[in-house]
Amino acid sequence: MNARLLAGVATRIAPTYDQHLALHGPLDPRGDLTDELDRAGLRGRGGAAFPTGTKLRAVAEAGGRPLVVANAVEGEPVSGKDRALLRVAPHLVLDGAVAACRALGARDAIVAIGDRTGRERAMVEAAIAQRGRKDGRVTLRTAAVESRFVAGEETALVRALGGREAKPSLKPPYPFERGLDGAPTLVANAETLAHVALIARFGAGWFRSAGTSESPGTALVTIGGAVVQPGVHEIELGTTLDQVLEQTGGANEAVQAILVGGYFGRWVTPATARELRLTPEESAGQCGPCVHGLRAIADTMSAPGEPDRRRRLEQLAALVDRRGACRHPDGAAGFLRSALDAFADEFAAHVRRGRCGARDARVLPIVGRRQR
């Protein structure tokens, strides 16, 4: 597969604006961008997979002077794709934001970045400076928000950019109806906007020449753990998991289970269930399922001498599922259920013996221990 988002990436140094234009050409959208995105079948790369053209159209139909927010907060601890994209291809993200602004008649675009990622913010700031701070009638700027899991949820992000605490709000209204400063706001993942920039240049047919008819295009994936070449890789959608692992050079030790989709995802077949402690720590602390439910799950998981622990955990998962202000509790419940299945033997042994004490086991990163 020929790289798209990572085309021309040979070093960790981002290309200058002139080098970027020499590689990709000028940003000259073909016809109506929203219609082109519909034809391309681009869906959001931030996790919700919402059709990007539909999202743009909703903002346009809301009326008023809209805003565009590139969401690069990436609070997911085991994901590094958006940060990597900002380091090696910041101009693609900026191009996508500018293209969206032009399509919507917006004049301001904000790249929202987690406050623990100073290096990436500096690189985006440098890229904006190379463009002269303004790109035509569009003003570009960055903003740092708290690096927490739920801070990347679109309503929480809008609240944070408005100077309030990064907590999800109940919907409606949605950001496309009333977002930052009360204006209709397009909140789009950084990778999504990078794809928008390429579709604007090369069209829907080009975009659909990779991937599958149902899931066209490419995506950035973060691969870690027991593989030869961990890091961020670009793959065609529809690629099998075996092929993805092969692209990383394959496993370099025995693999018992694979976590797909991060801490909001599922175990599909080496880490223990202690990662569940991530969920209450990353909660917004605003609604019962997170404040009490996820803490109860974590405490039950670590409580010694409870023979009926699995049944209790399944009960707690049912109590928090679909009951939060955002989807954070749902992800925790799904993560728990899949872990109970994937690690059934280990879980049973853990109940019998208490803590396993496997200090040398390779585990996933925990919040607070991530390198900045």
pLDDT digits (tens, 9 = 90+) for 122-158: 999 999 999 987 778 899 999 999 887 778 889 999 9
As a whole number, the mean pLDDT across the chain is 81
- Those residues with Cβ within 8 angstroms of residue 330's Cβ, 6 or more apart along the chain or in another chain: 320, 321, 322, 324
Residue 296 has, within 13 A of its CA and on its CB side, a CA count of: 18
- Is residue 230 one of the residues assigned to a domain? no
- Is residue 238 one of the residues assigned to a domain? no
* 285: alpha, beta or left? (left if phi > 0; alpha if psi -120 to 50): left
Distance from C-alpha of 112 to C-alpha of 73, rounded to nearest angstrom: 6
- Is residue 94 one of the residues assigned to a domain? yes
Give the DSSP letter of residue 289: I
Instruction: Summarize the confidence of residues 28-57 as an average pLDDT.
Output: 91
**Per-position DSSP letters for 290-333, written without gaps between them:** IIIIIHHHHHHHH-SS-TTHHHHHHHHHHHHTT-SSSSHHHHHH
Domain boundary at 188, 207, 226, which?
207
- Is residue 128 one of the residues assigned to a domain? yes
- Is residue 249 one of the residues assigned to a domain? no
> How many domains is the chain built from?
2
CA 34 from chain center: how many Å?
Answer: 22
Please provide residue 72's backbone torsions phi and psi, each rounded to the nearest 5 degrees.
Answer: -120, 25
pLDDT value at position 206?
A: 96
179 plus 265 within the same structural domain = no
- Is residue 234 one of the residues assigned to a domain? no
148 plus 90 within the same structural domain = yes
- Those residues with Cβ within 8 angstroms of residue 328's Cβ, 6 or more apart along the chain or in another chain: 149, 150, 153, 168, 264, 279, 282, 283, 284, 290
Domain boundary at 207, 239, 265, which?
207
173 plus 274 within the same structural domain = no
Tell me the percentage of the chain whose pLDDT exceeds 90: 43
- Those residues with Cβ within 8 angstroms of residue 272's Cβ, 6 or more apart along the chain or in another chain: 343, 346, 350, 356, 358, 361, 363
pLDDT digits (tens, 9 = 90+) for 284-335: 445 555 655 666 666 676 665 556 777 777 777 776 666 665 666 666 766 7
Domain boundary at 207, 241, 270, which?
207
Q: State the Cα torsion 218-145-225-294 to the nearest 10°.
A: -110
201 plus 66 within the same structural domain = yes
CA 96 from chain center: how many Å?
Answer: 17
- Is residue 361 one of the residues assigned to a domain? yes
167 plus 272 within the same structural domain = no
- Is residue 309 one of the residues assigned to a domain? yes
Asked whether the predicted pLDDT for residue 20 surpasses 60, the reply is yes
For residue 178, give the amino acid letter: R
3-state SS assignment for residue 99: helix
Distance from C-alpha of 36 to C-alpha of 269, rounded to nearest angstrom: 39
Instruction: Summarize the confidence of residues 33-53 as an average pLDDT.
Output: 93
pLDDT digits (tens, 9 = 90+) for 157-167: 999 999 998 88
Give the DSSP letter of residue 277: G
155 plus 86 within the same structural domain = yes
pLDDT band at 353 (very low <50, low <70, confident <90, very high): low
E-strand stretches of the chain: 67-72, 108-114, 134-135, 138-145, 185-189, 218-223, 231-236, 259-260, 266-267
56 plus 199 within the same structural domain = yes
- CATH number of the domain that 180 lies in? 3.40.50.11540
Which residues constitute the domain of residue 348? Answer: 256-372
